[in-house]
Chains A and B, each alone.
Chain A
Amino acid sequence: SQQGEEDPQALSIQEGENATMNCSYKTSINNLQWYRQNSGRGLVHLILIRSNEREKHSGRLRVTLDTSKKSSSLLITASRAADTASYFCATAPTGANSKLTFGKGITLSVRP
């Protein structure tokens, strides 16, 4: 079963608005990663946040991590039509031989 669960499952916003996506997970993690996927293409790594970090920024992206609540959020500020894609959180559980596990994904549509 997937470790991460994103919500909402789908999000539609107007260009220029901010988009917030959430991810919850169940077990202890080493890190949590966010990926973007354009339709029919490969996934692109966006940002990685370690378990001892609370917030991280990369350009228009801001990721937070709350290990006590086992949750993370991805904020995309000043969204653009080109941000339209599916977004996945992926969790890296603690322990040897752990595997990156992807959530179900969020479909973001940014209307021009």
Chain B
Amino acid sequence: DTEVTQTPKHLVMGMTNKKSLKCEQHMGHRAMYWYKQKAKKPPELMFVYSYEKLSINESVPSRFSPECPNSSLLNLHLHALQPEDSALYLCASSQAEGSLGKLFFGSGTQLSVL
């Protein structure tokens, strides 16, 4: 199984809602990532988890809260988002943290904040 599975594929939420994005991989990868991608732009790194611990937070606003319940799962909790947070949110994994290996990406969650 070389897949990274993200749910939901699409999400529409109001600015007062609380929602969560989910990501799962069963490749035994020990590093997992959240990226944000605006249309026609490259992915921007948000968070990195290594061995289930948060190792990188790219100064992301606190309305985004990541969680890694176990080595296969990664969540992104969303609260009080702004319309400018609308974007494609991508989860990725790699064998280990660091930039020496390739990333496996999920298909993403297209988020719209109204």
Q: B-contacting residues of A (Cβ < 8 Å)?
A: 2, 30-31, 33, 35, 40-45, 48, 88, 92-93, 97-100, 102-105
Contact = CB atoms under 8 A, between A and B. Distances in A.
A31 B101 CA distance: 9
Interface in B1-52: 4, 6, 40-43, 45, 48
A40 B88 contact: yes
Contacts of A33: 102
Contacts of B101: 48
A42 B107 contact: yes
Interface string B64-92: 00000000000000000000000010101
Contacts, number: 57
Q: Does more than half of chain B's interface fall in helix, strand or loop, or is it mixed?
A: loop
Interface residues of B, number: 24
A104 B102 CA distance: 18
9 contacts: A35-B103, A42-B90, A43-B90, A88-B42, A93-B99, A97-B56, A97-B98, A98-B99, A99-B48
Given A43-B105, A45-B104, A2 B42 contact: yes
Closest 10 CB pairs of A and B: A92-B99, A42-B105, A102-B42, A45-B102, A100-B99, A43-B105, A42-B107, A98-B99, A42-B108, A42-B106
Contacts of B43: 43, 88, 102
Nearest to A31: B100
Nearest to A43: B105
Contacts of A104: 41-42
Nearest to A29: B99
Q: Among A30, A45, A93, find the residue whose CB has the most chain B CB atoms closer than 10 A.
A: A45
Contacts of B40: 105
Given A2-B42, A35-B105, A42-B6, 9 more contacts: A31-B99, A42-B108, A43-B92, A44-B105, A45-B105, A48-B101, A97-B98, A98-B98, A102-B42
